[in-house]
């Protein structure tokens, strides 16, 4: 079996150009315990990727790493198995996850959360929403489409440079509308922080907390997300009214079943 350093970071020279040796070791300790390394190896043998290169982003709940593949690159998302990750899950999602695992079993909950994101990504893609293609998952690891180029990952919308905010707004309305009307989902945490921008188009990411459009909480969450985006575009010089945005994406249909009940 390969040594852990070879399993995780075979492109060591490139990685060390981006991180010092101490940071590399810290990432290994944080994300790649023995069980996770075995899962990485299983996914490699399934052909989902060749080798993990370096981190694209890391946070309290997990990290996303770029990996090599015969057709280019893949994104490998690894969730931390910890109480901290569990505490950051939205209550409505925990209600559903508890059907698959005990609330005392953090590992089981995180595995279910990973499966959930894989399933929702597939549902969005079927509805024509621009989101990463899900390729597979195991335990706390999700393998999906890499959004970016050989030069680097696509920037978050809040960090992106674009000359036509109105075109970006129209594209966002189209994508959120497809999510609401066709996939019948509400993202639940949509913002310029978890929307990528590539080649003039937005890409929706971090979708595990998405909620059914007829859920009692769906309308409140959609209004909150749209209001935040309206402020974002207004700061860019494009006045956007939240009510008009909500109507444009089909928000008037959200939560109807719950209201009738």
CB atoms within 10 A of CB 87: 11
Which residue of the set 171, 174, 182, 189 is catalytic? Answer: 189
Q: Mapped to the 3 state alphabet, what secondary structure does 145-171 carry?
A: ECCEECCEECCEHHHCCCCCHHHHHHH
Residue with tokens 């790493």: 65
Which residue of the set 164, 206, 214, 252 is catalytic? Answer: 206
As a whole number of angstroms, the distance between CA 68 and CA 52 comes to 6
Q: Any catalytic annotation for residue 6?
A: no
Q: Residue 37 in contact with residue 138, Cβ under 8 Å?
A: no
As a whole number of angstroms, the distance between CA 176 and CA 186 comes to 8
| Cα–Cα distances in angstroms (integers) from residue 140 to residues 122, 198, 227, in the given order | 17, 27, 32
Q: Residue 11 in contact with residue 68, Cβ under 8 Å?
A: yes
Q: Residue 28 in contact with residue 12, Cβ under 8 Å?
A: no
Q: Any catalytic annotation for residue 71?
A: no
3-state DSSP assignment of residue 247: helix
Active site residues: 189, 206
């Amino acid at each position: 079996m390969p040594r852990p350093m070879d399993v995780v970071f075979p492109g060591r020279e490139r990685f060390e150009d981006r991180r010092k040796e101490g940071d590399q070791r810290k990432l290994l300790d944080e994300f790649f315990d023995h069980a996770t390394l075995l899962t990485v190896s299983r996914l490699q043998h399934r052909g989902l990727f060749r080798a993990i290169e370096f981190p694209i982003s890391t946070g309290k709940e997990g990290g996303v790493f770029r990996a090599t593949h015969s057709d280019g690159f893949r994104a490998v998302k690894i969730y931390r198995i910890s109480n901290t990750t569990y505490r950051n899950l939205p209550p409505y999602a925990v209600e559903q996850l508890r059907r698959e695992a005990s609330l005392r079993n953090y590992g089981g909950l995180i595995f279910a959360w990973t499966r959930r994101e894989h399933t929702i990504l597939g549902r969005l893609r079927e509805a024509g929403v621009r989101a990463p293609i899900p390729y597979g998952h195991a335990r706390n690891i999700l393998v999906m489409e890499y959004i970016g180029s050989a030069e680097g990952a696509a920037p978050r919308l809040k960090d992106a440079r674009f000359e036509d905010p109105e075109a970006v707004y129209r594209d966002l309305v189209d994508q959120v509308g497809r999510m609401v009307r066709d996939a019948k989902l509400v993202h639940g945490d949509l913002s310029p922080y978890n929307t990528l921008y590539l080649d003039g188009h937005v890409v929706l990411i971090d979708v595990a907390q998405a909620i059914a459009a007829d859920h009692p909480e769906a309308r409140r969450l959609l209004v909150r997300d749209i209001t935040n985006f309206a402020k974002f575009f207004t700061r860019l010089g494009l006045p956007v009214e939240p009510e008009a945005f909500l109507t444009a994406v089909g928000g008037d249909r959200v939560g109807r079943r719950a209201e009738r009940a």
